[in-house]
Structure 1
Amino acid sequence: MSAPRKPLHKGLLAGGLVVGLGIGLVAGMAGAWVLSFSLIEKAKQEVRAGWTFVPVVVANRDVAPGEVLKLNELAQRSIPEQLATSSLVRPDSSAYVVGQALTVPVQQGEPLRWAFFATATEELKPEETRLAEECQRAFDRVPNRPMPDQSAAKIRERILGGGAP
């Protein structure tokens, strides 16, 4: 007969248990990451199903009114075809806006519209100009209309001061 076996050392058993739990935890986390990544990608594909994207011209920096656009200040971004109207500047027409002055402020990444440029508004008839000015004056007289805040300090002052929006 053979000699009786020596019992395993308790420290060795506990160490193996810790290593096994660690490996299981890492493998479980990796599996959860792969599962969540694949679910997110599937959701993206479902959302984008049926949408075709078209390129439009955007500003690659904030541009103030009156500034003249240069070619290096333009970029291209794709938007859903359903949202791309003829009022947006397309990449094949970008040469027409280079060297043109903007009439409105444009934020970085905002699609450029033909109406943002002075040449589009120079051709307004005098009665159309007067009508636009009268509409703006009427809008300015609307009581309790929301006014855009100019800075974080004004927002904080309005909130803490209890002022009306």
Structure 2
Amino acid sequence: MSAPRKPLHKGMLAGGIAVGLGVGLVASGFGAGVLAYTLVKKAERESRAGWILVPVVVAKRDVAPVEALKLDDLAQRSIPEQLVTSSLVRPDSSAYVIGQSLTVPVQEGEPLRWAFFPVATENLKPEETLLSKECERALDLQPDRPKPDQTAGKIRERIVGGGSP
């Protein structure tokens, strides 16, 4: 026969409960994390189910106005077809923008638009050119008109620095 067992001490029982609770909380937290990740990925797949991605040309780095674009300045990204218009530069037309200078600052990752290049304004009808010049003249007559910033970095500095728009 075996010797009688010693009764459990209250401290041992409390320690066992604490360890059990700790292991249970860690395991349930891990399970909840896996479940949440799975649900988020499922929702992402469902939201993108109808998307057809189309490649467009984007700036690989911040580019200032009047800076000529080089091949190294361009990258290709895919965006949903619903957001692509004829105003965006497509990869098969990227050769036309290499060597051209921009008329506006472009930030890294921003899709390039044909309107960002001076060539886009060369073929304007005379009345469109006249209207554009008249708008510029009217804007110049405003005494408190802000001066345009030359780069995205200067715009960011002005906004973060609390300067006037």
Q: Do both proteins adopt the same fold according to a TM-score greater than 0.5, normalized to the shorter chain?
A: yes
* 1:80 maps to 2:80: yes
Give the 5 Å matches for 1:83-102.
83-102=83-102
Per-residue Cα deviation, 1:108-148 (whole angstroms, up to 9, x for no partner): 11100112112222233443211112234456779xx9999
Residue 152, structure 1, aligned to residue 154, structure 2: no
Cα deviation for residue 154 of structure 1 reads: 2.9
What residue is the counterpart of 1:130 in the other structure? Answer: 130
Q: What secondary structure does 1:75 align onto? A: strand
Question: For the structure 1 residues 46 and 125, does the alpha-carbon distance in structure 2 shift closer, same or farther, using more than 3 Å as the test?
Answer: same
RMSD across aligned C-alpha pairs, in angstroms? 2.9
Deviates more, 1:7-16 or 1:65-74: 7-16
Letter in 2 for 1:100: Q
Return the offset for 1:3. 4.7
What secondary structure sits across from 2:7 in the alignment? Answer: coil
1:161 match: none
Identity percentage of aligned residues? 70
CA–CA separation in structure 2 for the residues paired with 1:146 and 1:38: 50
Normalising by structure 1, report the TM-score: 0.79
What residue ranges of structure 2 are gaps of 5+ in the alignment? 149-154
Where does residue 42 of structure 1 map in the other structure? 42
Distance 2:104 2:121 in 1: 11
Separation of aligned partners in 2, 1:141 and 1:65:
24
* Matched length: 157
CA–CA distance in structure 2, aligned partners of residues 60 and 76 of structure 1? 9
**C-alpha distance in 2, partners of 1:46/1:60?**
30
1:121 aligns with: 121
Q: Which runs of 5+ in 1 are unaligned?
A: 159-164
Describe how 1:15-30 pairs up with structure 2 within 5 A.
15-30=15-30
Deviates more, 1:11-20 or 1:48-57: 11-20
Runs of 4+ deviating beyond 4 Å: 136-142, 145-149
Say if 1:37 and 1:129 are closer, same or farther in 2 by CA, change over 3 A. Answer: same
Q: In structure 2, what is the Cα distance between the partners aligned to 1:15 and 1:105? A: 65
